[in-house]
Structure 1
Amino acid sequence: MDDIGSLITCVEKLKDGYVLCVGDVMLDRFVYGDVERISPEAPIPVFRIISENVMLGGAGNVARNIAGLGGRTRFVSIVGSDQAGRDVTAQVGEIADLDARLITDTSRNTTIKTRYIASGQQMMRADYETVAPLDGGTRKSLLNAAALGMENCSALVLADYGKGTLSEGIAGELIQMARLRSIPVIVDPQGNTYDAYMGATLVTPNRKELTDATGLPTETTDEIIMAAAHLARQSGIDAVLATRSGDGMTLVRNAENYAHYPAEAKEVFDVSGAGDTVVACITTAVAAGICIEQAVALANVAAGIVVGKLGTAVAYADDLIDSLHQQERATGEAKVLSLTAARDTAGVWRNQGHTVGFTNGCFDLLHPGHLAAISQARAACDKLIVGLNSDSSTKRLKGDDRPVQTETARAAVLASLEAVDLVVIFAEDTPAKIIEALKPEVFVKGADYTVEQIPEAKIVQGYGGRIVLAELAEGHSTTATIERLTQ
């Protein structure tokens, strides 16, 4: 996946995104209480209300998340001539950097989703809504407002909840309008057919929606890749992001071009609105000129943040940076893997189109010569794995008084280097076993060797790998340093 430093830079760019958001707005009402007994009237729990909270939901929550991330938003939606519609208008008006065009349709009810929650668990949900296509006049007003918004926006997000705002060909018209202006379109979809989203840049179905849309199984990662590739091909969509709850997300362009993003959440309190956060983050990032892959990586972090909050929550830019900094602090340990885990990770990198490189050594007291060699190794590949001699193998190679630092300490120092993507500790005298398992495209060794003198050369050349000899920085040696210290 993308390194943390580059993702932090992406977060700082989100303020440059200007998004047009069109879709079904609603109110999310959360009623909190206790359940302590069963009703004498029927075998149902008695819910005692303690408090309640109302916030924007649906497309309104998408717009709210865009603003929370620092992006600017033009928001277009439909409300009824009712109290809920007025509440939506009031809440939208409180959001900074949001320019709203809420069109009132007197024939519709503003959607309200009421969730009853006790002991941190949803007991039930009650919906009050109108599900019907827009009439001719309302449809025209919506399309005109969206066209006006496209004059300045750099990405379009369609938040379709199947209430009618985007039905009867409206989504398709908006996508075509955007594509004519070279504006990328991200869709949070609804329904069993995605022909309505033909021409979209990205759609974000969950596992169930992907199954419903394709009729294909989606239990395993391979099944999801096949189903998503089929959906993209069949519906004329550039890419599909399958959201998989606790299993993370999988971005698929076709059966050979995909990437998986493991779930970030440590503890889940409420998944309400998590999909809104994902689509909002991706669209804001794309609007700011960030590539889809990095946009999805950011959205994965954002989703992990909001499911750890109660209610229809927002992931703010500061939340993202804090979370990324926490990951950065933990990265050192996360980079030190077993050979089996490293092989799996290398496979993922290759699926993403990366070149895997490998170098090795004892790296006892890290000095500028080591850093120069590692830097050259990293320059020869996209992802660098460093093989580290264990304490026992270092002792055999360097003498009984070595290593000075334990393998744990040496691995931690190597893992802290930005140029190093993974560290694998090996107990053998040579890294032949690691090379045979990883089959790196590039093997880097110091130029104090010739290719003929490298024991592992035949292994690398046997599978078609490339050997690079790194120039040595003169005047640097761990052995010499230790001798000076002991004089």
Structure 2
Amino acid sequence: MDRKSLESLFNRIGEVKCLVMGDLMLDEYLWGKTERISPEAPVQVVDVLREELRLGGAGNVVNSLRALGAQVTVCSVVGQDANGEVLLSALGRQAAGTEAVFRDPGRRTSRKTRVVASNQQIVRIDRESRTPLPKDVEEQVCAWIAAHAGEFGVILLSDYNKGVLTQRVIEAAVAAAAKAAVPVLVDPKGADFARYHGATILTPNRKEAETASGMAIHDMDSLSRAAESIMETAGLEHLLITRSEEGMSLFTRHGTAVHIPTVAREVFDVSGAGDTVLATLAVGMASGLTMAEAAGLANVAAGIAVGKLGTSTVAPGEIINAVALGHHDSESKIKNRDVLPAIIEAEKANGKRIVFTNGCFDLLHAGHVKYLQKARRLGDILVLGLNSDASVRRLKGPKRPLIDEDERAHILAALDCIDYVVIFDEDTPLELITALKPHILAKGGDYTADGVVGKDVVEAYGGRVELVSFVDGKSTTNIIERVLERYSGN
């Protein structure tokens, strides 16, 4: 997505209503410094300089959604204790709806205390309940979700395996969502992903996916096998596996896997990164993005989150700025043909589908732009082979081109739909096609498939030719003729 599209998305995100279900907890941080060893035992003494209390667990998903600008209601269970009161107050400060946060006198509200010194976490202290909900409280939760699921644009299940998301609660949520045609996104836990059967998408990390599938993931083949096993077991249409520094992989039951490379950043803390992924994926889907677009947005957000210490949220401005940095100036897209094959191989290794087209593109007009936009939608990366000046003269005559090759290359590279531009001097792009081996060879609809140069080469390794229609009446020749007609008498 480009900057303008993201700005529009975040401008309307306040209309998105999200329901978060799962295990709420408090994350307490004690920040300090260590300069001495205790005389009582061989341990460091931490002088606490600052204390911070945050919403954790499913509460961090709430934080992430609110930071993005979405409306949030929470459905969960906390104890009838002081920490429960603190937690409800924290949700209130986030303007999150708490009418479905039920109180259980026999439950201990989860609180995790992290001691951090010199930007390093020294110890974590957990005080929590892990037992499943009692039947009467479980019934309250199931009844509420059955009555209210249709009020939301998306439902998120944040499972920390602390007992709130029992099998009955999950089934009730999935059934109510299906009846209301609301997507259900799950950040899963444990080895049995079948318990989330019927959810729209699961977002496990690599380790969780290995545990659930019973397969070690060490390459793309094993990743695909593990994904297939999980999707079959859980009855999923979609699965997003986060793979740390290797990015994310989106699998669709009847589609091609999309592998999204990570954004290179220094990693300080991965705490809460999964919550960021879940929240951003949810708002993207609820805002009308495709699953692949929403996953790409989540990948950007996760890259920002891991660059912060603690379970930090990500703001829309940070995502917009990060995406804007990825749109380089036009010169960076123009590549020499001796370096482009290696670049394209790297793109293929990241799961990108390569589209190639070529032409003179002298006097760029709307017909050219619409053609290139259509070609770009055929895959993930569009490579444009641009005829050199000498090549154009041989094809079009001694008076062409009107615009020299360097100017044409920069104008074309400024288009968002074009990822790489390479100038070639031959009459046809056959050598270039042979070197790049694109998945898809696109050519104008005025050609026949058999007349496309490079068709045999591309089809020999399993690629295909796509004919893309032109806009009628739009051509450089027509523009030249109109100019001559209007100005020849002056």
Q: TM-score band (shorter)?
A: 0.7 to 0.9
1: CA distance, partners of 2:383 / 2:249: 24
| Partner residue in 2 for 1:386 | 384
| Partner residue in 2 for 1:345 | 347
| Partner residue in 2 for 1:485 | none
Structure 1 residue 23: Cα displacement = 0.5
Q: TM-score, normalised by structure 2?
A: 0.83
1: CA distance, partners of 2:391 / 2:440: 25
Specify every segment of 5 or more residues in structure 1 that has no aligned partner in the other structure, as ranges. 482-487
Structure 1 residue 412: Cα displacement = 4.4
Q: Which amino acid aligns with 2:384?
A: V
- Choose 261-270 or 421-430, whichever is displaced more: 421-430
| Partner residue in 2 for 1:269 | 268
CA contact (8 A) 1:349 1:356 kept: no
Asked if residue 368 in structure 1 is aligned to residue 364 in structure 2, the reply is: yes
Asked if residue 18 in structure 1 is aligned to residue 20 in structure 2, the reply is: no
- How many percent of aligned residue pairs carry the same amino acid? 33
Structure 1 residue 49: Cα displacement = 1.9
Alignment of 1:237-316 (within 5 A): 237-254=236-253, 257-264=256-263, 266-316=265-315
Secondary structure at 1:368 match in 2: coil
Structure 1 residue 273: Cα displacement = 1.2
| Partner residue in 2 for 1:433 | 431
Structure 1 residue 211: Cα displacement = 0.8
CA contact (8 A) 2:236 2:253 kept: no
Deviations 1:336-384 (CA, angstroms, capped at 9, x unpaired): 5722322453676776xxx8241144x6xx6335x64354344356253
Deviations 1:65-120 (CA, angstroms, capped at 9, x unpaired): 22222221221111112222111111111113645432111111111122222232
| Partner residue in 2 for 1:474 | 477
2: CA distance, partners of 1:169 / 1:16: 30
- Choose 42-51 or 107-116, whichever is displaced more: 42-51
Deviations 1:113-147 (CA, angstroms, capped at 9, x unpaired): 22222232222322111110111221122223323
| Partner residue in 2 for 1:322 | 321
Alignment of 1:59-78 (within 5 A): 59-78=58-77
| Partner residue in 1 for 2:138 | 139
Deviations 1:179-232 (CA, angstroms, capped at 9, x unpaired): 122221100111110111000110111111111111101132332222112101
CA contact (8 A) 1:268 1:307 kept: yes
Q: Which amino acid aligns with 2:371?
A: Q
2: CA distance, partners of 1:321 / 1:238: 29
Structure 1 residue 242: Cα displacement = 0.6
Secondary structure at 1:169 match in 2: helix
Deviations 1:138-197 (CA, angstroms, capped at 9, x unpaired): 112222332343131121111110000002432122112211222211001111101110
- In structure 2, relative to structure 1, the CA distance for the partners of 1:474 and 1:120 (3 Å cut) is same
1: CA distance, partners of 2:164 / 2:246: 31
Structure 1 residue 410: Cα displacement = 5.8
| Partner residue in 2 for 1:484 | none
2: CA distance, partners of 1:100 / 1:12: 27
- Choose 340-349 or 22-31, whichever is displaced more: 340-349
Structure 1 residue 428: Cα displacement = 6.3
| Partner residue in 1 for 2:465 | 465
CA contact (8 A) 1:20 1:146 kept: no
- Choose 47-56 or 464-473, whichever is displaced more: 464-473
| Partner residue in 2 for 1:233 | 232
- In structure 2, relative to structure 1, the CA distance for the partners of 1:459 and 1:212 (3 Å cut) is closer
CA contact (8 A) 1:265 1:308 kept: no
- In structure 2, relative to structure 1, the CA distance for the partners of 1:47 and 1:396 (3 Å cut) is farther
CA contact (8 A) 1:202 1:237 kept: yes
2: CA distance, partners of 1:68 / 1:4: 18
CA contact (8 A) 2:455 2:465 kept: no
| Partner residue in 1 for 2:206 | 207
Secondary structure at 1:213 match in 2: helix
- In structure 2, relative to structure 1, the CA distance for the partners of 1:87 and 1:330 (3 Å cut) is farther
- Choose 305-314 or 460-469, whichever is displaced more: 460-469
Q: Which amino acid aligns with 1:465?
A: V
1: CA distance, partners of 2:451 / 2:166: 69
Structure 1 residue 314: Cα displacement = 1.6
CA contact (8 A) 2:34 2:46 kept: yes
- Choose 201-210 or 2-11, whichever is displaced more: 2-11
- In structure 2, relative to structure 1, the CA distance for the partners of 1:301 and 1:79 (3 Å cut) is same
Higher relative contact order (CA 8 A, sep 6+): 1
Secondary structure at 1:328 match in 2: coil
Alignment of 1:164-243 (within 5 A): 164-243=163-242
Q: Which amino acid aligns with 1:382?
A: R
CA contact (8 A) 1:443 1:467 kept: yes
| Partner residue in 1 for 2:488 | none
Deviations 1:292-345 (CA, angstroms, capped at 9, x unpaired): 222211111211222223322222233322332333356863675722322453
Deviations 1:254-299 (CA, angstroms, capped at 9, x unpaired): 4962111112252222222111111111122223333222221111
- In structure 2, relative to structure 1, the CA distance for the partners of 1:220 and 1:441 (3 Å cut) is closer
| Partner residue in 1 for 2:487 | none
- In structure 2, relative to structure 1, the CA distance for the partners of 1:159 and 1:304 (3 Å cut) is same
CA contact (8 A) 2:114 2:125 kept: yes
CA contact (8 A) 2:330 2:410 kept: no
CA contact (8 A) 1:7 1:298 kept: no
2: CA distance, partners of 1:97 / 1:208: 31
1: CA distance, partners of 2:301 / 2:178: 27
| Partner residue in 1 for 2:155 | 156
CA contact (8 A) 1:198 1:235 kept: yes
Give the length in aligned residue pairs.
469
Secondary structure at 1:123 match in 2: strand
Alignment of 1:40-59 (within 5 A): 40-59=39-58
Secondary structure at 2:10 match in 1: helix
Q: CA RMSD in A?
A: 3.7
- In structure 2, relative to structure 1, the CA distance for the partners of 1:468 and 1:112 (3 Å cut) is closer
